[in-house]
Amino acid sequence: MSIIKPKDLALTEEKLAPGHRLCPGCGEPTTVKLVLKASDEPVIVCSATGCLEVSTSIYPYTSWNVPWIHSAFENAAATASGVEAAIKALKRSGVYKYDKVNVLAVAGDGGTYDIGFQALSGAFERYHKIVYLLLDNEAYMNTGIQRSGGTPSYASTTTSPDGKVIPGKLQTKKQISRIMVEHEPAYVATISAAYWQDLMQKSKKAFAADGPAFLHSFTPCPRGWRHADNLSIELCKLAVQTCIFPLWEAEKSDGKMVYKLSAPSKQIAKNPDKKKPIVEYLKLQGRYRHLFKPEEKTELIKQIQDWVDTEWNIILERCGEK
């Protein structure tokens, strides 16, 4: 696929208009705008309940320059299934003007890892031709930073606070994208706004895929992660550089899912010295402050590092880099 130039980006229509009410530094609109720009065909968006939905659609205003529907929290994939099926049937009856319309379901980590997982799993098993975009900011941010299945270990949230006895979330982050690969859909990829060309190319692949596609976006939340507004893209980079969020894709080839490491992560696989320690990523975020103050909790930080290493090795293995 050809390289996308910044000029091309500037010249394509904004499908999510400015003036929405998402926070400064929020990772969501950057990702959504880029993903939408990657669609060459008309696109219909099905949003789950969440920050993106409430901040872009406060009646009588809307930021959406594309057809957009929100119905509930746990059902973005099911709603998208209905839209896809309707278009298929309407095309068959000859009343539909467009030959190809992309259907994009968008949900956060709560709406994907937890409450929306059943609908997502069902839609992928039924093989609807939809693109599911997970905006993973690692907690229920819209309701006020509660822990989700996507919250990583020892992150402090309002339902996994760092207390005198318990140092944040005790469990590890669910590996949702690998679970989605096991559904054997057409396409799965992890994306990060810091690597926007990679993001857009993967989005194009997702829209072109001959079946369901899953895009997992690493999506910083300055409010929830308690970091400075201007550090969001920096954190996107660091997440890839520390390998806590590696960039990879998996495509169906001859009926088998084939994993492939994407360039930014591949560089690290080739030069392991470039892999930064996780502490560099953790220390920029207030949600991990209790790991450093009043004294550094070396053992807990080591546990996080070990987890990152283990998961990174799994990805390297899957991608045939080991």
Partner 1 sequence: MSKIVKQEMMGMNGDTACAYAVKQCNPEVVAAYPITPQTIIVEVFSEYVANGEVTTEFIPVESEHSAMSTSIGAAAAGARAYTASASQGLALMYEMLYIASGLRLPIVMTCVNRALSAPINIHGDHSDAMGARDSGWLQLYCENSQEAYDTIIQAWRIAEHKDVLLPVMVNIDGFILSHTLENVSVIPDDAVKKFIGEKKIPVVKKPNGELTPYILHPDYPASIGAIDLQDYYFEHKRQQAEAMNNALKVIKEIGEEYGELTGRTYGLIDPYMMDDAEIAIIVMGSTAGTAKYVADLMRNKGVKAGVLRVRSFRPFPRDDIVKALKNIKACAVLDRSMSFGSYGGPLFTEIRSSFCYECDKPIIVNYYYGLGGRDAPPNLLDNVFNELKNIAETGKTGEEIRYLGLREGEKDAVNYKAELVSFKDLNTGKIGGK
- Positions touching partner 1 (CB under 8 A) are 42-44, 46-47, 53-54, 57-62, 64-72, 74-75, 77-90, 92-93, 97-98, 101, 118-119, 121-123, 125-126
Please report how close the Cβ of residue 39 comes to partner 1 at its closest, in angstroms.
11
Tell how strand 256-261 and strand 213-218 pair up: unpaired
Q: Which is nearer to partner 1, 90 or 179 (CB)?
A: 90
Number of H helices, E strands in the chain: 12, 8
Please report how close the Cβ of residue 224 comes to partner 1 at its closest, in angstroms.
20
Please report how close the Cβ of residue 121 comes to partner 1 at its closest, in angstroms.
7
Q: Which is nearer to partner 1, 142 or 203 (CB)?
A: 142
Please report how close the Cβ of residue 63 comes to partner 1 at its closest, in angstroms.
8
Which string of DSSP letters, residue by residue, matches 247-292? -EEEEEETTEEEEEE-HHHHHHHH-GGG---HHHHHTT-GGGGGGT
Q: What angle do CA 45, 55, 60 make, to 5 degrees?
A: 85
Cα-trace Rg, the chain: 19
Please report how close the Cβ of residue 140 comes to partner 1 at its closest, in angstroms.
17
Residues in the chain: 322
Q: Which is nearer to partner 1, 92 or 256 (CB)?
A: 92
Q: Which is nearer to partner 1, 83 or 145 (CB)?
A: 83
Q: Which is nearer to partner 1, 141 or 269 (CB)?
A: 141
Please report how close the Cβ of residue 125 comes to partner 1 at its closest, in angstroms.
7
For residues 59 and 54, what is the distance between their CA atoms, to the nearest angstrom? 10
Q: What angle do CA 56, 233, 106 make, to 5 degrees?
A: 35
CB 144 within 8 A of CB 116: no
Q: Which is nearer to partner 1, 117 or 307 (CB)?
A: 117
Coil, strand or helix at 110: helix
